Structure 1
Amino acid sequence: MTTELTLLNDRMPRLGWLDIAERKSGAIRLAPAEAQPEPKNLRRIKSEVQRRWGVVPLVDMRKEAVLRTGCLDAVTSVSGGGSLSAEVLAERLLLVIYAYGTNTGIKAVASGGHGHTEDELRYVRRRYLTPETARQIAIEIANATFAARSTELWGQGSTAVASDSTHVRAYDQNLFTEWHSRYGGRGVLIYWHVEKKSLAIHSQLINCTASEVAAMAEGAMRHGTTMDVEANYTDSHGQSEIEFGVTRLLNFDLLPRIKRINNVKLYRPVAGEPDAYPQLTPALTRPIRWELIAQ
């Protein structure tokens, strides 16, 4: 850690976006980040995709993913049996996943001209589509996407994810519904882990009062895909001082946005060297008590 602080101290004069000085509002100040330029060929790619494929229905995209990945092959009944043929089961699972994934609802989806009734779809939902099954389907699609990506087009595989929660409103009668003070409404929280190229590798249901710090570590450890997570970007709610040490032990870097960074204090690595890091002095406080950490 002493070496890292020394390097940081040496590089400080060249960081135009960082200013550390004595001030009442806090020692650390970050300059606003400048907007990055739009990639040179982005508009041309969008135009070509629109010209070649136009608007593709979402259910057709899901069907193509199922055919290419075989993600429904391992789906079995919760009772271990089942008399439905593989083709019929796949069609009904596609419709049920579409109903829940788009929030359209099974009743509305059942009104289409596909030949499957609402009762048949609800039966498949109860007997086949468990939370664990849905998670395994998502893992299969993610792994197939990683394997199919061309490095010439997409570059090397990503090793970083970004995580955050989404507040989903729910009826009061739902046993999981809670009031969330920050979002100002009743519902539940879904905590997502999304890799650099916008593919979700993990999602989990958490309570509105639960710590997002624990959810961040849980998803980075137990996403179940072939991705090797080496870094996790998150917001202020997904980080804590203790978690910086925990993620280091778990062998991935915690890279949060700290909202109140102007109030952050840095601890000196050793005692007796008050002038060792002159560029960091305004933000430094007492030495670290290593003996307490060892205990």
Structure 2
Amino acid sequence: QSTSQDQSLPVALAFVLKHEQRRSKYLPSDDLDLSFISERWRRLVVEQRGEEQVLSRVHLEVCIFTYLAAELKTGDISVAGSEQYADFREQLLSWEECEHDLASYGIQSGLPVTAESFVAALKQQLTEVAQTVDQICQDGSQITINEVGAPVLKRLVAEVKPSGADELEAKIWERLPERSVLDILCNVEYWLNWTRHFGLASGSEAKIDQPTERYILAVFGYGCNLGPYQTARHTRGLINGQMLSRINRLHIQTSQIEAAIRELINAYNLLPLPKCWGTGKRAAADGSKFQIHENSLMSEYHIRYGGYGGIAYHHVSDTYIALFTHFITCGVWEAVYILDGLLKNSSDIQPDTLHADTQGQSLTVFALSYLLGIKLMPRIRNWQDYTFFRPSPEAVYKYIDPLFTDVVDWKLIQTHWQDLIRVTLSIQAGKLMPSTILRRLGSNSRKNRLYQTFQALGQVVRTLFLLQYISDRALRQEITACTNIVEGYHNFLDWLFFGKQGVLTDHDPEEQEKRLKYLDLVASAVIFQNTVDISAAVRSLVEEGHKVDRELLSTLSPYLTRHLKRYGDYVVDLTTIPEPLDLAVSLPIEIAQELSQ
């Protein structure tokens, strides 16, 4: 069904279906409306045979299905009853429903709740920021404009490690106990009892013996990609592959794994040491390619990474713990899912600032994140190729004027302000996810006015960010540091996902994403244990008289693997009791007082 008044494509599709049994080379034109096709397509589809105008059947079919695929992506065509291609307008709140929530939305977001005041405030903000940045950049310490008007940003100087950081790291390495991944899962189970989230959905089926041990083995086998049967071979006959497979299918669902991960994140957030690494108010999103078989439904060829696979899109906190993971195809623009991870994250760590790379941003994402109260601050490659927008044609700047090449369309934003608010409040009400609307707004549509409005708002928001980006060296360093954390997390996962040479062998897309949830659970447990062990090492060093402060601790990372064992017999041992958690994570009094301040 068409989502606009233009019915030419559905009519053309009905025409093709009417003649689907014909095998002749040409079809009669029947005055078919082909106004939606380009001139190049028209030259292929329409032919003149004598005085009669006919249609090339094969070319017409290819043409119509090409346009159909494009308009399904932009939302100009919908499929009734579909989840991915439904008419998104039917999922939105009515304006009458939105009016009841406008006041609370204004308080929560800090944005004006009328079209005129919204545009006026945004215009004033852009005007003030541009004038301020123009003054900051005049001394040439942040950015220079060469003789041809091209901007050149000053290169960041790598931060120097504080004196004693390398010595502290070496001393901690000496004190870290050697552990296997399975031992770590057992220790964290003893502290947090995370396996309680697993079990049969219904109590009518028979329970299993030793459920805790078997759940831990299943998480280890699937999380490290060994699979059920290879894991069973290393358990000295304690369990067979069929039982592990049954546990995965019946006892452990994706939502249950997410609940266990949330348990670990919340416990990790209570530890004192991660406060030295970040505030939890920032997160970074980035994708990592996982290899899957070419004939899998999710498999696509990735030009940048090479080879067939899918993308695990991670949201990682500035405290090093992963908050959420999506599994998407290689052909999807990563920015479509960048906001979903924050909204689906239900842990105690709730970031309000989101970093990414160039793949994690677009004009529509900037606009939607602004309306949702999320500060999008990506690390953009070739930022000077993007257009800066003036608040008005009369706005002229002494130093940065060459950056501005266009003017904001304030009238478009004001005219369709209600549509922007309907989308925003519908997302907050849980009617649809950001990825649903971003898929519809990810490509330029001939008919979608909402897309053009989001583009106009995104032009303002991205210009504001770029102005801050070029004038604030500290901001650029923060963005680089946070995005480096998520890249370190990818390397950490590669080390843990050692089975089957890192290839996801299952063909079911839901099972593939489930495997990555298992991996996140294992990674969170190892990060938790490493943080506990580092805390214990720091405590012993201070007791021995070594000077350790917050600045030195901030240089450490829980992505440690040198002391871990991946291979050997896999035996669950719940009889060895670890040190009490309260004592294990405590830091010296001096550091604890500094953190509390």
Q: Same fold (TM over 0.5)?
A: yes
Deviation of 1:82 after TM superposition, in Å, equals 4.6
The residue that corresponds to 1:281 in the other structure is 401
Name the CA shift for 1:93/1:113 in 2 (closer, same or farther; >3 Å): same
- The answer as to 2:30 corresponding to 1:30 is no
Q: CA deviation at 1:91?
A: 1.5
1:242 aligns to what SS in structure 2?
helix
* CA deviation after TM superposition for structure 1 residue 194, in Å: 0.7
Q: Distance in 1 between matches of 2:212 and 2:245?
A: 14
**Shift in CA distance, 101/177, structure 1 to aligned 2, threshold 3 Å:** same
Aligned counterparts of 1:257 and 1:245: Cα–Cα separation in 2:
17
The structure, 1 or 2, with the larger RCO (C-alpha pairs under 8 Å, 6+ apart) is: 2
Please say if 1:269 is aligned against 2:391: yes
Partner of 1:202: 324
What is the alpha-carbon distance in structure 2 between the residues aligned to residue 39 and residue 84 of structure 1? 55
Query: CA separation in 2, counterparts of 1:213 and 1:15?
Result: 33
Is the contact between residue 20 and residue 283 of structure 1 (CA under 8 Å) also seen in structure 2? no
Letter in 2 for 1:6: Q
**Runs of 5+ unmatched residues, structure 1:** none
User: In the alignment, is the contact (CA less than 8 A) between 1:21 and 1:283 conserved in 2?
Assistant: no
User: Structure 1 residue aligned with 2:190, among 67, 82, 91?
Assistant: 67
Q: 1:15 to 1:150 in 2, by over 3 A?
A: farther
Structure 2 unmatched ranges of 5 or more = 1-124, 416-597
Instruction: Give runs of aligned pairs for residues 173-252 of structure 1, distance below 5 A.
Output: 173-252=295-374
Structure 1 contact 168–189 (Cα < 8 Å) conserved: yes
Residue 301 of structure 2: SS of its match in structure 1? strand
Change (3 A) 1:61 1:111: same
The 8 Å contact of residues 284 and 317 in structure 2, kept in 1 or not, is answered as: yes
Which of 134, 143, 146 is the equivalent residue of 1:18? Answer: 143
Quote how far apart the aligned CAs of 1:176 are. Answer: 2.2
Tell me if the contact between 1:168 and 1:188 (Cα under 8 Å) persists in the aligned partners.
yes
Q: Deviations over 1:63-111 (max 9, x none)?
A: 22222222221222244545435x8222122112212222222222111
Could you tell me how far apart the structure 1 residues matched to 2:205 and 2:140 are?
Answer: 63
Give runs of aligned pairs for residues 30-179 of structure 1, distance below 5 A. Answer: 30-84=153-207, 88-113=210-235, 115-150=238-273, 154=276, 157-179=279-301
CA offsets 1:169-210 (integer angstroms, 9 cap, x no match): 012343322222222211111100111121111101112111
Aligned equivalents of 1:172 and 1:155: distance in 2?
A: 40
Distance 1:174 1:104 in 2: 19
Task: Give the SS at the match of 1:51.
Answer: helix
Structure with the largest fraction of helix: 2
User: How far 1:265 sits from its partner (Å)?
Assistant: 1.9
TM-score, with structure 2 as normaliser: 0.46
Q: What displacement does 1:263 show? A: 1.0
C-alpha change, 1:236 and 1:73, in structure 2 (3 Å) is same
TM-aligned CA distance change 1:272 to 1:293, over 3 Å = same
CA RMSD in angstroms comes to 2.2
Q: Secondary structure at the match of 1:148?
A: coil
Distance 1:198 1:67, change over 3 A: same
Could you tell me how far apart the structure 1 residues matched to 2:194 and 2:152 are?
Answer: 48
Give me the whole-angstrom Cα distance separating, in 1, the residues matched to 2:138 and 2:182.
Answer: 54
SS of equivalent to 1:259: coil
- 2:166 aligned counterpart, secondary structure: helix
Higher strand share: 1
The separation in 1 between residues aligned to 2:162 and 2:194, in whole angstroms, is 34
- Find the residue that maps to 2:196 and give its secondary structure: coil
CA contact (8 A) 1:180 1:208 kept: yes
State the identity as a percent.
21
- Provide the secondary structure at the position in 2 that maps to 1:278: coil
TM-score (norm 1): 0.89
* Deviation (angstroms), 1:247: 0.9
Aligned residues: 289
